[in-house]
Amino acid sequence: MGTAKLSDLDWVDIDQRHIWHPYSAINASTPVYPVVSAHGVRLRLQDGRELIDGMASWWSAIHGYNHPVLNAAIQTQSQQMAHVMFGGLTHQPAAQLAQHLIDLTPEPLQSVFFADSGSVSIEAAMKMAIQYWIAQGHQHKHRFLTVRNGYHGDTLHAMSVCDPVNGMHNLFTSVLPQQYFIEAPQPAFHETCQPEHLLPLQQTLAQHADNIAALMLEPIVQGTGGMRFYSPGYLQAARDLCDAYDVLLIADEIATGFGRSGKLFACEHADISPDILCLGKALTGGYMTLAAVLTTPQISQTISQGEPGVFMHGPTFMANPLACAVANASIELLLASPWRDQIAHIEASLHQRLMPCLHFEQVADVRTLGAIGVIELHQPVNMATIQPQFVERGAWVRPFGKLIYLMPPFIMNDQDLATLCDAVVEVVQHLSLDNAG
């Protein structure tokens, strides 16, 4: 039996009554805006309004929307095969993507595992670290060390390495695996990392290295856990300490990979290579969900030679050909563009246009790095009231907690960036300390 096409009112009503959105309630009072199309850096709403997207769909749409090169990659691949299981079969887009990633990341990273999403890649990375130690007879090395203000995803083990107090998962504390937490890196991006900044990390490794499989870090940029930028010196020292105490280093570059911080990968700010690297979000230019976990031959061969002789993970849609094809196109498009200049220009513009907010009493800090601009308030925002204020000004900005932040597509021009920043400054200016929450 056929189904009649839903009217505009019908599908919006179905959404409101039946669909859970991220971190939302059914029948929530917070507005949800119906999008009917997207092109370049603009989202077109059902009522005809257009919004300049300041979020790049949560870090991912680095080339903007409806890009002809990425569209063509999807269309061409769909005519060959949309999907095929990766168990016992392979295909050219996956091999091409693996080669791209190996070529772009530090040389020790030679083995690639494809996952469905960022959270799943974190799960796979943690399992990889545990299985590596089990293969060597170190079953007790199964816990993880991480820093506060971190965010690594919403699945069970990923939640266990998110900030247990300031994160979004304290409701599940009693059922999560228990990990080791130390204070967040203290020196800011442009500050020198001093020996005292490393004491919590060094002391915890000295006491518990026999039980720790890996240190999990977001390199340089802590994302959803606080949008903090820390010193490359801290990351360099963390790499050295992991080596000294025989602990693996997992770098979560799901948010920072592919240029967002001003380097192709944030690890480059510290000139280090992790033992395991997680990538996602911008991997496909925001077109499809896909993630990748890269590791060294030492780790992949150790796992493959131990019991049971295979890595125990395998998503159904692993290495989806459509996703791999558009990821290849996105990477090639990025590398062929003047992305370094674009991001440097965005950084300078964000810095110039957002810094006036430091004069507002409700603002605690303003910081920028690469194509990231952050305004930290003293009090959390009220999403139900602040979101419409941005929409009224033609801007799509999605604050959380005390943070109002921008991460525009790399292709955004000066005029659109100015409009976006002006909207943010105007909203923040009229956000009093009394009504921020």
Would you please indicate which residues are annotated as catalytic (active-site) residues? 23, 151, 252, 281
Strand partners, 112: 294
For 55, the 3-state DSSP assignment is: coil
- What is the per-residue DSSP string for 108-164? T--EEEEESSHHHHHHHHHHHHHHHHHTTT-TT--EEEEETT----SSHHHHHTS-T
Closest CA to 230 of 274, 199, 184: 184
For 230, the 3-state DSSP assignment is: strand
Burial class (CB in 10 A: 0-12, 13-18, 19+), 169: middle
* Strand order across the beta sheet in which 248-252 lies: 111-115, 291-295, 276-279, 248-252, 212-217, 143-147, 180-182
The DSSP output letter for 85 is -
Burial class (CB in 10 A: 0-12, 13-18, 19+), 7: exposed
Rounded CA-CA distance 302/131 in Å is 9
Closest CA to 151 of 142, 163, 139: 163
Rounded CA-CA distance 255/58 in Å is 8
CA dist list (Å): 164 to 73, 154, 169, 215, 326: 41, 13, 7, 16, 36
- What is the per-residue DSSP string for 328-356? HHHHHHHHHTTHHHHHHHHHHHHHHHHGG
Structure tokens at 15: 């959404």
Structure tokens at 164: 């247990």
Q: Half-sphere exposure of residue 80, counting CA atoms within 13 Å on the CB side?
A: 14
